[in-house]
Structure 1
Amino acid sequence: MARDGFFTGLDIGTSSIKVLVAEFIKGEMNVIGVSNVKSAGVKDGIIIDIDAAADAIKAAIEEAEEKAGMSITKVNVSLPANLLQIEPTQGMIPVPSESKEIKDEDVDSVVRSALTKSVTPEREVISLVPEEFIVDGFQGIRDPRGMMGIRLEMRGMIYTGPSTILHNLRKTVERAGIEVENIVISPLALTKAVLNEGEREFGATVIDMGGGQTTVATMRAQELQFTNTYAEGGDYVTKDISKVLKTSHQIAEALKFNFGSADLSSASPSETVQVEVVGENSPIEVSERYVAEIISARVRHVLDRVKQDLERSRLLDLPGGIVLIGGGAIMPGVVELAQEIFGVAVKLHVPNQVGIRNPMFANVISLVEYVGQLTEVDVLARGAVAGEEKLRHKPIDYKSSNPAPKTRTFAQPQQKPLETFDTPTEDAAFQTEGKPKQKMGDRVRGMFGNLFD
């Protein structure tokens, strides 16, 4: 059952940083503020410049605060699946109280006992998700509190990641003047939020096509079975267009979103566009088909790698098929190309929240939904993990020459309707889906008229 209250999600991507503020009331999530700013200091989903990333996060937080009409003091941060490891774990304790009634402290203790598994110094426990509790041999218990027993056991899944990535993530958010409430593994949140109950049980795969990387997560039997990241995304498509056509990154990006398609059969070989290229005195003509060939080659390369890994893990032919999300999935022809490559059912997931019905927001929406749906037992488990990790690792020194974080206090949210969020690139491409395709000659006038003014 969802917890009532306000929750803020922070998605630090290679291309953009998104912040979403939502209020949960009786299990219903209401989005009250969202922001999307250009990313900095991030490469392939990993922070490489703490100061630059912190400045971008601060800008995104301030924009979200303005739209939500409230101050943000703590955030839930998504963590990419880079070098993520998943292992089963279990713990067992005797119930110490004289009454033998299981309490919060006993849940905390049994989770800590499951954390005694050896973790190498370069890795850190991110999360432990309880699958079931066992009281005196009786299995399948979700919440043992209030029950009587002599022996309490827990079985679950433990998620670990590189300490360096986690350290940099925490330090960057703290330097932006915000407290980290929870670190949430992105693939875990995505599969929980994007897939329905049947897909999570019988099996399905979510492919998040971001700007700097592509993330894949497969869930079956309500458990995360496979996850991987590929250091190729929508930005690589833009770079390919820029390199092949010898044009600027700005023009290549405009070509991708205004004329790009991953489906060669729908691209016209006769429709052309004038493109400014380096070393030429006058623009050259490039056909829509040629641009599609450049785009299709990169998208096919990424999806072929995903297919090989899914086949190797015997997770390709799952009943739930493939679900695409992310800004890279918005491009026309991507769903059709994925259908051809994987040979299974493929669909594009579109969030249903008012004002942000765009697959590029699926990650940050799923993050907030996941945190809001955490049970009391899940919260206890997270608290136990946080306590153990503080004992294992030295505190991070956040002292720097930067000014101290500003003090914020919560204000009563302004009751105003959520503004439709406009993104001039991905949103424009997404909203035109299903409409008659404008001819290339007509479309180019507006684009390049603005571009070269």
Structure 2
Amino acid sequence: MARDGFFTGLDIGTSTIKILVAEFINGEMNVIGVSNVKSAGVKDGIIIDIDAAAKAIRVAIEQAEEKAGITIEKVNVGLPANLLKVEPTQGMIPVPSDSKEIKDEDVESVVRSALTKSITPEREVITLVPEEFIVDGFHGIRDPRGMMGIRLEMRGVLYTGPTTILHNLRKTVEKAGIKLENIIISPLALTRSVLNEGEREFGATVIDFGGGQTTVAVMSNQELQYTNIYAEGGDYVTKDISKVLKTSIPSAEALKFNFGNANVSEASLTETVQVEVVGESQPVDVTERFLAEVISARISHILDRVKQDLNRSRVLELPGGVIMVGGGAIIPGVVELAQEILGVNVKLYVPNQVGIRNPMFANVISIVEYAGTQSEVDAISQRAIAGEELLRRKPIDVGQTRYTQPSYQSTESTQTSPVTPLPNIEPTTQATPATPKEDKPKISDRVRNFVGGLFD
């Protein structure tokens, strides 16, 4: 059940940084401020320059504060699935009170008992999601407080991540001048927000087509079953257009969103757009079909890799199909192309929040929803984890620490970091190319030769 009050979400993407401020009143979420600024110091969803990232976050905070009319003191930050590890866990304690009535401190104690398993020094607990409590053998209890019992057990799911990444995240938020309220696992929040009850139960896949990377998350039986990250996204489509057409990045970005189409069959063979080409004194005409071929080539490349990995993990043909979000997903024809390649039902998710009905805001919305709808039991669990991790945590020398990606299951693909199964956004358009014309000569065939070598 949602808690009344103000909640702020921070989505640190490779291309953009988004902040959303919302007020929860009687369980209703009302967005009162949002900002979207160019990212800095972030690569593949990971902070690589603390000072640069903190400065960009500070700009986003100031914009959000101005729009919301409040001072932001703390934020809930989304953590991508990079090197995330998921495993089941359980704990058990005797109920110590004379009355044998289970209290908050008993829930906190049983969560702590579930954290006693060995965790390597380079990893840290991010969150623990209680799946059920068991009181004297009675299963399926969501909130045991107020009940009487002699023995309290808990079964849940433990999420851990690299200590270095988490340290850098905390340090960056601290340098931006705000308090970190919660670290929230982005694919977990996103699947809970985007999928309906039936999809979460029977299984569905969410593809977040961001700017710098594409994230895939699968939820089934109300649990996050699989995630994977691909270090390619909408920015790569822009770079391909820029390279093939020999035009600037701002012009390529404008071409992508104003005239682009990922579905080649829907693009016109006769309609053309003028492009300012480096080395040419006059604009060159490019057909919409040729532009679509460039766009489709990169997106097809990403989706082919996604399909291979989902098939390998046997989670592609779930009843809920595929739901697409992210700035890259709004390119015309992406949903149709994804449906053709993946061979399952695909739909585009559009948030229903007034003023931000755009798939690019799905991630930051989900972070705020997750924070605002946390149950009291979830909050107690997070408090227990925070206390334990504070005791475990040691100072980290960021300048000397080097993290090497461990080897997980064989289903991983190159440049990806999937969760071990339990078993970003596009930049703002900065320039607009000239209006379409019909009677200009087509681009030289020498340009077309670049397409074939894009992915060699």
- Compute the TM-score of the two structures, normalised by the length of structure 1: 0.88
Aligned residue type for 2:39 = S
Partner of 1:361: 361
Partner of 1:210: 210
Corresponding residue number in structure 1 for 2:448: none
Tell me the residue number matched to 2:137: 137
Aligned partner of residue 344 in structure 1, secondary structure:
coil
> Is this contact kept in 2: 1:171–1:396, CA < 8 A?
no
> In structure 2, what is the Cα distance between the partners aligned to 1:353 and 1:397?
42
Confirm whether residue 264 of structure 1 aligns to residue 260 of structure 2.
no
For residues 90-147 of structure 1, the C-alpha deviation after alignment (integer angstroms, 9 at most, x for no partner) is 0111111111111111111110111111111111111000000001111000001111
* Equivalent runs, 1:327-346 vs 2, <5 Å: 327-346=327-346
- RMSD between aligned residues: 1.9
- Alignment partners' CA distance in 1, 2:240 and 2:169: 30
SS at 2:281 equivalent: coil
What is the CA–CA distance in structure 2 between the aligned matches of 1:363 and 1:292, rounded to whole Å? Answer: 27
Q: 1:172 to 1:25 in 2, by over 3 A?
A: same
Partner of 2:314: 314
Partner of 2:414: none
C-alpha separation in 2, matches of 1:291 and 1:192: 36
Q: Which residue of 1 aligns with 2:87?
A: 87
**Poorly superposed stretches of 4+, deviation over 3 Å:** 395-398, 423-426
Counterpart in the other structure of 2:351:
351
Aligned length: 409
The aligned amino acid for 1:391 is L
Tell me which amino acid in the other structure corresponds to 1:62: E
Q: Aligned partner of 2:374: which letter?
A: L
Q: Is 2:96 aligned against 1:100?
A: no
Name the counterpart of 1:240: 240
**Cα pair 1:173 1:180 within 8 Å, conserved:** yes
Residue pairs, 1:189-228, within 5 angstroms: 189-228=189-228
Decide whether the 8 Å contact of 2:8 with 2:22 is kept in 1.
yes
- 8 Å CA contact 1:32, 1:67 repeated in 2: yes
What residue is the counterpart of 2:123 in the other structure? 123
Shift of 1:286: 1.5
User: Which residue type is aligned with residue 12 of structure 1?
Assistant: I
| Equivalent residue letter for 1:324 | M
Gaps of 5+ in 2: 399-426, 441-456
1:277 Cα offset (Å): 2.1
Cα distance, 1:229 vs structure 2: 0.7
Distance 2:327 2:46 in 1: 18
* Kept in 1: contact 2:274–2:435 (CA 8 A): no
- Aligned counterparts of 1:316 and 1:197: Cα–Cα separation in 2: 19
CA separation in 1, counterparts of 2:118 and 2:397?
26
Counterpart position of 1:6: 6
CA distance in 2, matches of 1:68, 1:290: 44
User: Comparing both chains, which one has the higher relative contact order based on Cα–Cα distances under 8 Å and sequence gaps of 6 or more?
Assistant: 2
Report the Cα offset of residue 344 of structure 1.
1.1
Counterpart of 2:245 in structure 1: which amino acid? L
Where do residues 22-61 of structure 1 align in structure 2 (5 Å cutoff)? 22-61=22-61
Query: Is the CA contact 1:17–1:38 (under 8 Å) kept in the aligned structure 2?
Result: yes
Other-structure match for 1:411: none
Paired with 1:440 and 1:281, the residues of 2 have a C-alpha distance of 18
Q: SS at 1:440's partner residue?
A: coil
Q: Post-superposition shift, 1:424?
A: 6.0
- State whether residues 271 and 439 of structure 1, in contact with CA within 8 Å, keep that contact through their aligned partners in structure 2: no
Aligned to 1:378: 378
Q: How far apart are the structure 2 equivalents of 1:274 and 1:227?
A: 41
Distance 1:281 1:262, change over 3 A: same
SS at 1:303's partner residue? helix
- Give the corresponding residue for 1:406: none
State the 1:278 CA deviation.
2.4
Q: Deviations over 1:402-447 (max 9, x none)?
A: xxxxxxxxxxxxxxxxxxxxx9649x9xxxxxxxxx98339x9xxx
Between the aligned partners of 1:342 and 1:107, the Cα distance in structure 2 is 43
Corresponding residue for residue 277 of structure 1: 277
2:436 aligns with 440
Partner Cα separation in structure 1 for residue 120 and residue 50 of structure 2: 25
Q: Secondary structure at the match of 2:437?
A: helix
The one-character-per-residue Cα deviations of 1:295-315 (angstroms, maximum 9, x if unpaired) are: 101101111111111111111
* 1:65 match: 65
Report the alpha carbon displacement of residue 24 of structure 1 after superposing the two structures with TM. 0.6
Secondary structure in 1 matching 2:232: coil
Question: Cα offset for 1:285?
Answer: 2.1
Distance 1:50 1:282 in 2: 43
Distance of aligned partners of 1:346 and 1:214 in 2 relative to their CA distance in 1, 3 Å threshold: same
Partner SS state of residue 115, structure 1: coil
CA distance in structure 1 between the partners assigned to 2:271 and 2:9 by the alignment: 43
In 2, Cα distance between the equivalents of 1:21 and 1:2? 15
Distance 1:310 1:109 in 2: 38
Task: Give a deviation string over 1:280-302, Cα, whole Å, max 9, x none.
Answer: 33332221111111110110111
Matched letter for residue 53 of structure 1: A
Contact 2:273 2:435 in 1 (8 A): no
Partners of 1:33 and 1:193 in 2: CA distance: 19
**In the aligned structure 2, how far is the partner of 1:397 from the partner of 1:253?**
39
Please report the TM-score for the alignment, with normalisation by the length of structure 2: 0.87
* CA–CA separation in structure 2 for the residues paired with 1:285 and 1:159: 52
- Secondary structure at the counterpart of residue 215 of structure 1: strand
- One-letter amino acid of the structure 2 residue matched with residue 315 of structure 1: V
- d(CA) in 1 for partners of 2:155, 2:98: 25
Q: Tell which deviates more after alignment, 3-12 or 275-284.
A: 275-284
CA–CA distance in structure 2, aligned partners of residues 397 and 57 of structure 1: 23
Task: Say which SS state the counterpart of residue 88 (structure 1) adopts.
Answer: strand
Name the counterpart of 2:184. 184
Q: Which residue is 1:410 aligned to?
A: none
Q: Is the CA contact (8 Å cut-off) linking 1:267 and 1:288 kept in structure 2?
A: yes
Quote the residue 1:159 is aligned against: 159
Contact kept? 1:259, 1:440, Cα under 8 Å? no
Q: What letter matches 1:253 in structure 2?
A: E
